[in-house]
Amino acid sequence: MKYEVDLIIYIISRIREKANRFIVDELKSHGLQDLAPIHGEILLALFSQGELSMKQIAALIDRKKSTVTTLVEKLIKLGYAQKKLDVYDNRSFLISLTDNGYNLREVLIEISNKLLDKVYKDLPLQERKQLVKSLKKILDHW
């Protein structure tokens, strides 16, 4: 690489790998080794939005519907989510959380807060804001 700034994709990739590893370790420490970081994204979407279709979940977490279907099926199998036929569209299912799923909320928030503490350690608020602003600009190019 010619310049340190040319390493952006490498750096983002490494941060993602380390963040995922951190989340996996935290999930394991809470006895949730059957969950992957991506499951957390689905659970958080359901916490905030309530009942959602597979298509809506896919849009919210920016994944293909087929990928979301597989992930949701695992959440159902683990007892964290349930599905029911959409009364307005018989070709579609609505996904919601079970009581066990809702009970994960505090643990997932705790893990998220620990991750953010690690990510932003020693980074002043103004630099955090600028970093997020710059990364959003880059993301908008896609």
pLDDT tens, per residue, the chain with 142 residues = 566 778 889 999 999 999 999 999 999 999 999 999 999 999 999 999 999 999 999 999 999 999 999 999 999 999 999 999 988 888 889 999 999 999 999 999 999 999 999 999 999 999 999 999 999 999 998 8
3-class DSSP string for 52-94: EEHHHHHHHHCCCHHHHHHHHHHHHHCCCEEEEEECCEEEEEE
Domain with 26 in it: what CATH number?
Answer: 1.10.10.10
Which residues have CB under 8 Å from 141's CB, separation 6+?
none
Token code pair at residue 98: 């079970």
| Domains contained in the chain, number | 1
- What are the backbone angles phi and psi of residue 83, rounded to the nearest 5°? -130, 150
Domain containing 8 equals 4-140
